[in-house]
């Protein structure tokens, strides 16, 4: 039975203009990182990343993200092989010049990142009792993506870089990690101390895709 409790009266939780600016600085300096130093990442910071994910919104409060902390070298190598195959295939979509440009891009840091996380989404979690996901089942995937964005921002605040690898065959990832049938591959994250820092996306800097405004439509 649902417990009806008195909601606490409005609690003042005021963030200052400085706090807002701090948040926007973290937004601006959070960039996908693929160039890592070899230094290890202390466990207490890893715990903060886990906590950042736990604070993410999730449909029905279901927290559907499932995270593997991947330290096994054989597993990392297989993830890298998966990337190499998928990347070779991806190159075929481009004509000669663009294919050359594409191949010059560094799109992952699997061989160098000290911390690597494989993130899956449970598409049928018990938690949440199905609330909010009947018409939009991918609200679960969206919840996982939001949790990963919290992780991205927390990592940046602690000085860490995160690279999100999407050039992977998801079915192979599900087989490699032997996940239950209801789990869907969502993200592979490479985490470590960045070799350099920027407030611009690397793909902008390297002229692959310049930043562009996204206008909102009025209706």
In angstroms, the first-to-last Cα distance of the chain is 41
- Least distance CB 78 / its own copies (angstroms): 11
Distance from C-alpha of 90 to C-alpha of 111, rounded to nearest angstrom: 20
Per DSSP, the three-state class of 67 is strand
The residue within the footprint of its own copies, chosen from 43, 69, 78, 161 (CB under 8 A), is: 69
Distance from C-alpha of 96 to C-alpha of 151, rounded to nearest angstrom: 37
Q: Which residue has the tokens 């793909």?
A: 203
Strands 161-165 and 115-122, sheet pairing = unpaired
For its own copies, the binding residues in 34-63 under the rule CB under 8 A are 48, 50-57, 59-63
- Least distance CB 54 / its own copies (angstroms): 6
- Least distance CB 43 / its own copies (angstroms): 12
Distance from C-alpha of 128 to C-alpha of 138, rounded to nearest angstrom: 14
Give the count of residues interacting with its own copies (CB under 8 A). 126
The residue within the footprint of its own copies, chosen from 109, 113, 161, 187 (CB under 8 A), is: 187
Q: Which is nearer to its own copies, 58 or 111 (CB)?
A: 58
The site string for its own copies over 93-122 (x = CB under 8 A, - otherwise) reads xx--xx-xxx-xx-x---------xx----
Q: Which long-range contacts (CB under 8 A, 24 or more apart) does 21-24 make?
A: none
For its own copies, the binding residues in 154-173 under the rule CB under 8 A are 154, 156-159, 164, 166-170
């Amino acid at each position: 039975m649902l417990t009806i409790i008195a909601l606490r009266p409005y609690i003042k939780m005021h963030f200052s203009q400085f706090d807002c600016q701090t948040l926007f600085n973290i937004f601006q300096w959070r960039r996908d990182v693929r160039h890592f130093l070899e230094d290890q990442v202390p466990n207490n910071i890893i715990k903060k990343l886990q906590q950042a994910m736990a604070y993410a919104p999730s449909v029905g409060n279901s927290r559907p993200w499932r995270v593997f902390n991947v330290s096994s070298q054989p597993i990392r190598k297989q993830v890298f092989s998966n990337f190499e195959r998928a990347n070779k295939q991806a190159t075929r979509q481009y004509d000669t010049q663009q294919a050359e440009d594409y191949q010059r891009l560094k799109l992952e840091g699997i061989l160098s990142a000290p911390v690597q996380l494989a993130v899956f989404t449970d598409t049928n979690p018990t938690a949440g009792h199905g609330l909010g996901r009947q018409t939009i089942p991918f609200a679960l995937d969206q919840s996982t993506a939001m949790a990963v964005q919290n992780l991205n921002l927390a990592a940046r605040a602690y000085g860490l870089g995160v690279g999100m690898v999407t050039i992977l065959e998801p079915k192979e990832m599900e087989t490699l990690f032997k996940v239950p049938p209801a789990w869907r591959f969502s993200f592979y994250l490479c985490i470590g101390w960045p070799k350099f820092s920027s407030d611009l996306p690397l793909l902008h800097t390297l002229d692959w895709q310049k930043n562009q405004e996204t206008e909102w439509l009025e209706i």
